[in-house]
Amino acid sequence: MNKLALTAAVAATISLFGIVPAAAQAETVTISYSDLDLSTATGTDVLAKRVELGAEAACQRPDMRSVKAMAVFEGCKTAAVSNAVDQLSRAGVNIAAAN
């Protein structure tokens, strides 16, 4: 079973910037990669893109007109991707996630 649980610590990141959302919580996105051949560059590139999209989904992109909210989103996304790369590394999968 090749799945990755990507968790974004939205509450912690948001509180760091002094923004308090109505319902701060951690979001988890499950990313499956059992259909990929991770021995190829194409397979690892596709997984990296899935991780990136999963991080964006977990961190919930805000209105782009809010500089503070966008900074929180980018911080959350960076942390989520890093967490996912660490999980994959522990499972013996190495990807170069474009963040």
Q: Are 46 and 75 in contact (CB under 8 A)?
A: no
Is the model's pLDDT at 97 over the cut of 70? Answer: no
Give me the number of domains the chain comprises.
1
Residue-range definition of the domain harbouring residue 10: 3-90
Q: What length is written for the chain?
A: 99
Residue 98 is assigned to a structural domain of this protein: no
Q: Are 60 and 73 in contact (CB under 8 A)?
A: yes
Q: What is the pLDDT of residues 45-96, one digit of tens each?
A: 999 999 999 888 888 888 878 888 888 889 888 988 888 888 888 888 888 6
Residue 80 is assigned to a structural domain of this protein: yes
Which of 24, 2, 17 is CA-nearest to residue 67?
Answer: 17
Model's pTM, two decimal places? 0.73
For 73, residues 6+ apart whose C-beta sits below 8 A from its C-beta are 59, 60, 61, 62
Band of pLDDT at residue 22, cut at 50, 70 and 90:
very low
Residue 17 is assigned to a structural domain of this protein: yes
